[in-house]
Structure 1
Amino acid sequence: MAAGTGTGVYDRRFDPGRVCLDLVATGPASGAYERLDRPARLAEWLVASRLVPYGTPLGAVDETWVARFRQLRTGIDRLMSAQLAGGNADNALERVNTLAAGAPPGLRAVRDHGGALVRAPIADPGCGELLAAVARDAVDLLTDPVARAGLRRCEGDACRRLYLDTSRGRRRRWCSSEVCGNRERVARHRRRVRAVT
């Protein structure tokens, strides 16, 4: 695979507020289809999620990377689900903590074609470094009481996506008002029409 493109088939339908929750949204457990089904899709997600800047060489991304990111995704999903349910997922916590202990990719500031400063890796990022960055984000979320209080699961009928509710009054109900919210409004309208007829 060549440099990350960020313009491929990765479908960014909503912003969950954290990179760790964005990783969880790539899987079938979120109510969607498997979005990390091959190395090219993982490379696209790495760029789309801003873990690596556009143009970063991602030639090392292979099936082992996909498997490792899926394992981390499962662990984060279990941790966040346990947090929402008031339970614990100690096995998943141990796995995430182990990955978070690794060194994240080193970054530097460089000028882009327009002269603006952008992030760029010091060297080609390794799988372990990128996993560490996502795992640290999960640890940061779970240990920050304010952020943790905003953790929500979409109320859409067929959706299980997680997101951070940063809305005023913390009244957000759906991962995406345009998708899940619209489905709910259409279903509510149909129920009203049926009740009248």
Structure 2
Amino acid sequence: MASPSASAPVSTAAPVSASGELRFDSGRSSLDLLTTAHPEERLDSVVRLRAWLVGSGLVPADTPLRGAGPAWLAAVRELRDHIEQLVCGELDGRPAPAALERVNALARCAPPAPCAIRRADGTLDRALHADPGCRELLAAVARDAVELLTDPAARSCLRRCEGDSCPIIYLDTSRGRRRRWCSSEVCGNRERVARHRRRAALART
């Protein structure tokens, strides 16, 4: 069984740099995967891939992931491309049959099996029955994409960020469905700063 240490609480949060290298605010793990390609490649190492897998909640923090290597990086990036084609196709009315076939194929594999373990303090913690392989992890993300795109309610909440040159797609679950940006702190703040500068420039004329 792949299990976290029972001596101390385990955090499932991945490190996020000041520049937002890893983000987990899109609403679904499959959409969070898409953010790793913007504004540059974020899954550029096995260390970063491990951080993303933990931050996305796919694996507990102390999961060994002994097989992780360059082949995993390539496979995850390939899945990311297929999911992007599918999601953008849904928003734009452009079917992506090849991407759909590939995502469906990956989703057929069983995802990592979770289990509960008793910690030293008596509480239950999440672990995995076994150290997952790449196929199992790809299946978890592929299944999330399938569930997202086949759920009419969830699909209707897909939004593109209104930030300038920002391609990020997120799930808008805000009240009234009024969320405009992938992140109020990132693109939202840029828009507010730009608006302030425009007003200041007009005031000087």
Q: TM-score, normalised by structure 1?
A: 0.91
Q: 2:201 aligns with which of 178, 194, 197?
A: 194
Letter in 2 for 1:118: D
Q: Which residue of 2 aligns with 1:61?
A: 68
Provide closer, same or farther for how the CA distance between residues 93 and 7 of structure 1 changes in structure 2, counting only shifts above 3 A.
closer
Shift of 1:182: 0.5
What is the one-letter code of the residue matched to 1:33?
E
Summarize the Cα distance change of 1:128–1:171 in structure 2 as closer, same or farther, 3 Å threshold.
Answer: same
Instruction: Name the counterpart of 2:87.
Output: 80
Task: Find the counterpart in structure 1 of residue 126 from structure 2.
Answer: 119
- 4+ runs of 1 displaced by more than 6 Å? none
Query: Which of the residues 70, 77, 102 maps onto 1:70?
Result: 77
Cα deviation, 1:135-182, whole Å, max 9, x if unaligned, reads 000000000000000011111103111110000110100010011000
Cα pair distance change 1:150/1:114, threshold 3 Å: farther
Greater Cα radius of gyration, structure 1 or 2: 2
**Residue 177 of structure 2 corresponds to which residue in structure 1?**
170
CA distance in 1, matches of 2:71, 2:150: 29
TM-score normalized by the length of structure 2 = 0.88
Q: CA deviation at 1:75?
A: 0.5
Distance (Å, rounded) in 2 between the aligned partners of 1:190 and 1:90: 45
Matched letter for residue 28 of structure 2: R
1:93 paired residue among 84, 93, 100: 100
Residue 91 of structure 2 aligns with an amino acid whose one-letter code is L
Q: Give how far 1:87 is off.
A: 1.6
1:19 alignment partner in structure 2:
29
| Gaps in structure 2 of 5+ consecutive residues | 5-10
Matches within 5 A, 1:137-156: 137-156=144-163
Letter in 2 for 1:47: V
Aligned Cα root-mean-square deviation (Å): 1.8
Q: Distance in 2 between matches of 1:171 and 1:113?
A: 45
2:112 corresponds to = 105
In structure 2, C-alpha distance between the alignment counterparts of 1:59 and 1:189, rounded to whole Å = 50
Match of 1:40 in 2: 47
1:157 aligns with 2:171: no
Alpha-carbon deviation of 1:117?
A: 2.0
Q: May I ask how many residue pairs the two structures share in their alignment?
A: 192
Task: Mark the runs of 5 or more structure 1 residues left unpaired by the alignment.
Answer: none
1:9-47 CA distance string (max 9 Å, x none): 6644451110000111111xxx32211011111111111
How far apart, CA to CA, are the structure 2 residues paired with 1:70 and 1:131?
Answer: 10
Alignment check: 8 A CA contact 1:7 1:44 kept: yes
In the superposition, relative to structure 1, how do residues 38 and 155 fare at CA in structure 2: closer, same or farther (>3 Å)?
same
Inter-partner Cα distance in structure 2 for 1:6 and 1:14: 9
Q: Secondary structure at the match of 2:71?
A: helix
Q: Quick check: 1:5–1:55 contact (8 Å CA) kept in 2?
A: no
